[in-house]
Structure 1
Amino acid sequence: MQKKYIIIFLFCLLSFLACGSSPSSSPSPAPAPGDDNASSVNASGQKPDWVDAIDSVYNKSQYAAAVGRASSRDMAEKNAFANLAAFFGPSVQADQNITNLYREAVKSGILADWTDDASMRNTIKTIVPMETLLETEIKDVWYDAKSKTFYAAAVMEKQKALRLYSNMVVVNQDIVTTLVTMGQGDKFSLDGFSRYQFAATVSYINTTYENMIKLLGAESPLTVLSGDVFRLEARNIIKAIPIGINAANDRTDKIQNAFAQSLSDAGFRGGGANSRYILDVNITVSPVSASKGRNKFAMIELSANLTDTRRGTLLLPYNFDSRESHSSAEEAENRCYAAAENVIKNGDGGKNPPLSPYTEFLQNYLSQLLPKK
């Protein structure tokens, strides 16, 4: 009996000590699911006023604001930015390819490289982290636990935005002027093309900035130049650039002719051996040992390197290989040449596509060229 009381006493004592050693604190609310930064999320059960009436919190005279919602915080914020952009309309949005190219130039520092003005460089630095509308940020996020939905408020302070948009219009216009100022020898080159193409990109973005300034109730500090003018001149530059082709081991010139047609479709002139730009084509055909069967196999390996002979640089490499077979070794090799010609002209699909695969390959390269100062 005495042992029983001792055991009970020890159990109570241990329980008391355990309670005494635990910190006394109220439980913290659990972070909203899927949220990496829950400390900045309002997860209270009471819906904030801005969710249903954004203008009740962010006055229209001072702010432009919009709400986005989604099952994840990240998507809710993206939707909020998109809804605010939609509020201003399509005039403040450029083509996505243009936007991506401009954004890449901003982030990589290429845009800033084209101005020597320190204040302009500082202005450009301020827009580096801005993915959407300038001077726009997520001010509030609320998580509704009942519906498992995030709500985000994207807010633009109009006067701050107006100052930045106005400054960027001036910066961009100055950069455009610098880009297109060069001698004729430099202009009619791929460098000149990239400068005019980028000038068009910057001008298109500047037009959206000018439109935003007007929507914010002010006048643009200057008249923005049209991007169409520079894009048209970039095309004219391409038409004036000759590209020569040097094809080694092309038995019937069909591969050289296929490349020549692709270059012509891309807008380039045909050039001779002394052209600044040369497409250096090397073809190797060799027999392949087959495991079994009567057919003979051959392998073709082709490289076509677009080079700038003046600078001695490789601009755009292209490679292709294929294995073909036939009962005769000679015909197997002929099929290798035919396969290479077909891929250059038609790709893996049907015959006579709108543009040859190599033309599209080249145009994709040209469209992403960014000029280096």
Structure 2
Amino acid sequence: MRKIISVFLFAVCAGNLFCASAREKEPEWVSAPKNIYSADQYFSYVGKSKNRAQAELLAVEGIAAVFEQKINSASTVSSRMEKAGSEGKVAVAKVQNFSSKIMRSVDVDSLVGVELKEFWTDGEKNVYALAVLDKQKAAELYSGMIQKNNGEISKLLNVSTDDEFSLENYARIDFAREISCINEKYLSRLSVVDFSKASELEKKTVSSAEINSRLLEIARQIPVYVYFKNDPDGRVQAGCSRILSSFGFRTSQDKNERYSFTGDLEFKQNVPKDKSSVQCRYFFKAVLNDSAFEQNLFALSFDGRSASNTYDNALVRAFSAIDSRAESEFKKFLQNIAVHY
């Protein structure tokens, strides 16, 4: 019996020594990733968590932070950009092999060239993940996208047209501006991984500010007649005129303008049975028309309800809601005008 106990104690001690040894033998990249992935050639970051998915996210966020961008800064992409990207006309960042959690949390533009290289779990069940960005590889990817997009911008800006002051041409130039904004993000990231290459390409890239100046010059030459029926004090007309002006267009009182944005309004007062508030039910209908081609370019129709302690206050809130919705929908329309070139 004594012999068995001795053997058992020896086994326990040996096991404890083995576990201690295993815990101490952590990979060098966990504490000193730059010893494995040279800082001259790579950006590296180690994420640590109790589960692998979170460790991966922390590692990737560490790389994304290098670009001094908000981690979750993904911007809305227009449908025309999505279409151009799917057709291969425009180069947009595409990455694979990342979890949905990472894709929701980190701007895809900051994931270009990033790889999850290593994983390790210590004796306390902490998971370590190593994310690595190969600077040369990333520089090549960003440079390629910028150059491709520069070619597309040049095509858009140099289209020959007899209808320069039209919404179609406005949309064409606006699309070039949208692509240039993407290129500026890529240039910013390229400057982090290869400053000299970024400086070289920046000289060959038309800035969004330059394109926007041209866009505004076109918009100023596009007057739009604005009129609404049943518009108390012309408030909705004034709001829609402001929206058009915010995009650079001129508004007009001349019914014979090529473009017109006209509509009809209806307001109804309602008092609930408990008389806790006064409600204003509103109905909005409008059409943007191009008389040159006898086309309705954009139709907008919606309704809603606002409430307050008096009908006048409820009406003010209704005007505000109409203004906000109309601005949002008109912006979407401008970004999705079909672009031909």
TM above 0.5, one fold? yes
- Which residue matches 2:37? 58
Could you give the per-residue CA deviations for residues 96-144 of structure 1, whole angstroms, max 9, x where no partner exists? 76x63569877x34236474xxxxx7xx48x422622422211123344
Deviation of 1:178 after TM superposition, in Å, equals: 1.8
Q: C-alpha separation between the residues in 2 aligned to 1:240 and 1:230? A: 16
- 2:117–2:131: 8 Å Cα contact kept in structure 1? yes
TM-superposed deviation, 1:52: 0.9
Q: Deviation at 1:212?
A: 4.0
Provide the rounded CA distance (Å) in 2 between the counterparts of 1:218 and 1:292.
66
Residues 256 and 364 (structure 1), Cα distance of their counterparts in 2 relative to 1, 3 Å cut? closer
Instruction: Find the partner of 1:111 among 85, 89, 105.
Output: 85
Q: Which has the larger radius of gyration?
A: 1
Alignment CA distance shift 1:78-1:184 (3 Å): farther
Structure 1 residue runs without a partner (length 5+): 1-43, 116-120, 327-331, 349-355
SS of the aligned residue for 2:158 comes to coil
Q: Residues of 2 paired with 1:235 and 1:95: CA distance?
A: 32
* Structure 1 residue identity aligned to 2:84: I
Report how far residue 270 of structure 1 moved: 0.7
Deviation at 1:370, TM superposition (A): 7.9
Instruction: Give the structure 2 partner of residue 24 of structure 1.
Output: none
Once superposed, what is the RMSD of the aligned Cα atoms?
4.5
Q: Tell me what 1:234 maps to.
A: 215
Aligned match for 1:204, one of 172, 184, 189: 184
The offset of 1:67, in angstroms, is: 1.8
Corresponding pairs, count: 299
Q: What's the TM-score, normalizing by structure 2?
A: 0.66
Q: For residues 276 and 347 of structure 1, what CA distance do their matches in structure 2 show?
A: 28
Sequence identity, in percent?
Answer: 20
Q: Does 1:278 align with 2:260?
A: yes
Q: Provide structure 2 residue ranges, at least 5 long, that are not aligned to the other structure.
A: 1-21, 97-107
Q: Which residue of 1 aligns with 2:157?
A: 180
Structure 1 residues 141 and 247 mapped into 2: Cα distance closer, same or farther (>3 Å)? same
Q: How does 1:82-121 map to 2 (within 5 A)?
A: 82-87=61-66, 89-90=67-68, 93=69, 100-101=75-76, 108-111=82-85, 113=87, 115=89
Equivalent AA in structure 2 for residue 141 of structure 1: F
Pairing of 1:1-373 with structure 2 (within 5 A): 46-87=25-66, 89-90=67-68, 93=69, 100-101=75-76, 108-111=82-85, 113=87, 115=89, 124=91, 127-129=93-95, 131=108, 132-144=110-122, 146=124, 149-182=126-159, 183=161, 185-186=163-164, 188-189=166-167, 190-212=170-192, 214-215=194-195, 220=200, 223-250=204-231, 253-271=234-252, 272-285=254-267, 299-306=281-288, 310=293, 312-315=295-298, 317=300, 319-322=302-305, 339-340=314-315, 342-344=317-319, 346-347=320-321, 357=324, 361=328, 365=332, 372-373=339-340
Measured after TM superposition, the shift of residue 323 of structure 1 is 7.5
Q: 1:104, 1:73 → 2: CA distance?
A: 35
> CA 1:72–1:246 in structure 2 vs 1: closer, same or farther (change >3 Å)?
farther
Note closer, same or farther for the CA distance 1:137–1:370 as it changes in structure 2 (3 Å cut).
farther
Matched with 1:17 is none
1:211 partner SS: helix
Deviation at 1:325, TM superposition (A): 11
Please state whether the residue corresponding to 2:264 is helix, strand or coil.
strand
**Residues 193 and 237 in structure 1, CA contact (< 8 A), matched pair in contact too:** no
Q: What TM-score, normalized by structure 1, do the two folds share?
A: 0.61
Q: Deviations over 1:142-180 (max 9, x none)?
A: 34462x543221112333333323322321211221222
| Inter-partner Cα distance in structure 2 for 1:74 and 1:135 | 19
